[in-house]
């Protein structure tokens, strides 16, 4: 009986060691590993990762099959990226670059390991045009709420949750869970200097319409959407 327990204890120790090693290997995924997966899956066929974007016209933009990712680390939260890549659900109600075709929701799925690796790679893609620690994510901002809902009516294009119901437009990306997805610093940088990040776009330019404080407030307000 003692021999059995020794064998069992030894096997258990080996199993625990292997589990720990597997966790550590996953946790230590490098951007290079993620880039390899990204390339192997041909993700670059739809997404630009070497910025900045040089589009000049809408004709240029319409050639693109998916949104730019060259600033993904500045734009998206790492935990959200890893989760979404495993179970991608439409962020845009309509197909990319369309205001008529519904998004089919057929984005490729990655395994947990692949998603972790690719998320680390995308998180390494940073834009110099996005300053860090400007916006306090998740903190309510009444000035931003007023600007978002009253001054500009942003949910004319973006869907949001109000009183437990999803309301708003369909032509822009959904903001239903924007606080989980987006970094406030990126939202502010985009409002402040949109052409530095997305030179050709449908969204109105708010430079000269909203002052700098309003832009910061709107960015902070959007990060409360969860």
Do 157 and 122 fall into the same domain?
no
pLDDT tens, position by position, 180-193? 999 999 999 999 99
Do 88 and 20 fall into the same domain?
yes
Do 44 and 88 fall into the same domain?
yes
Assess whether pLDDT exceeds 60 at residue 1. no
Q: How far is 124 from 126, CA to CA, in rounded Å?
A: 6
Do 147 and 66 fall into the same domain?
no
- CA-nearest of 130, 146, 133, 156 to 217 is 146
**What is the average pLDDT across 172-176?**
96
What CATH number does the domain containing 143 carry?
A: 1.10.760.10
pLDDT tens, position by position, 98-146? 989 999 999 999 999 999 999 999 999 999 999 999 999 999 999 999 9
Do 199 and 114 fall into the same domain?
no
Picking from 96, 126, 156, the residue at the C-terminal end of a domain is 126
Picking from 126, 150, 178, the residue at the C-terminal end of a domain is 126
Do 164 and 65 fall into the same domain?
no
Predicted confidence band of residue 18 (pLDDT cuts 50, 70, 90) = very low
How many domains does the chain fold into?
2
Do 121 and 157 fall into the same domain?
no
Do 220 and 151 fall into the same domain?
yes
Picking from 83, 109, 126, the residue at the C-terminal end of a domain is 126
Do 66 and 14 fall into the same domain?
yes
According to the model, what pLDDT value does residue 13 have?
Answer: 47
**pTM of the complete model:** 0.86
Query: Tokens 């230590």 appear where?
Result: 28
According to the model, what pLDDT value does residue 29 have?
Answer: 77
Phi–psi pair at 147, nearest 5 degrees: -65, -40
Q: Tell me the residue range of the domain where 47 lies.
A: 1-126
């Amino acid at each position: 009986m003692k021999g059995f327990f020794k064998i069992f204890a030894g096997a258990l120790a080996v199993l625990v060691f292997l589990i720990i090693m597997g966790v550590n290997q996953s946790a230590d995924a490098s951007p290079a590993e993620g880039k390899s997966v990204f390339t192997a899956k041909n993700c670059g066929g739809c997404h630009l990762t070497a910025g900045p974007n040089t589009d000049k016209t809408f004709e240029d933009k319409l050639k693109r099959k998916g949104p730019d990712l060259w600033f993904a680390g500045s734009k998206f939260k790492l935990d959200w990226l890893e989760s979404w890549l495993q179970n991608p659900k439409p962020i845009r109600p309509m197909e990319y670059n369309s205001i008529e075709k519904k998004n089919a929701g057929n984005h490729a799925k990655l395994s947990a390991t692949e998603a972790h690796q690719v998320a680390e790679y995308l998180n390494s893609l940073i834009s110099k045009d996005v300053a860090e620690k400007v916006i306090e994510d998740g903190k309510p901002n009444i000035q931003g709420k007023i600007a978002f809902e009253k001054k500009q009516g942003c949910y004319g294009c973006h869907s949001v949750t109000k009183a437990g119901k999803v309301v708003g437009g369909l032509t822009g990306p959904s903001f239903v869970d924007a606080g989980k997805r987006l970094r406030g610093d990126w939202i502010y940088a985009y409002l402040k200097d949109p052409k530095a990040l997305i030179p050709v776009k449908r969204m109105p330019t708010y430079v000269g319409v909203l002052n700098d404080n309003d832009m910061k407030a709107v960015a902070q307000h959007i990060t409360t959407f969860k």
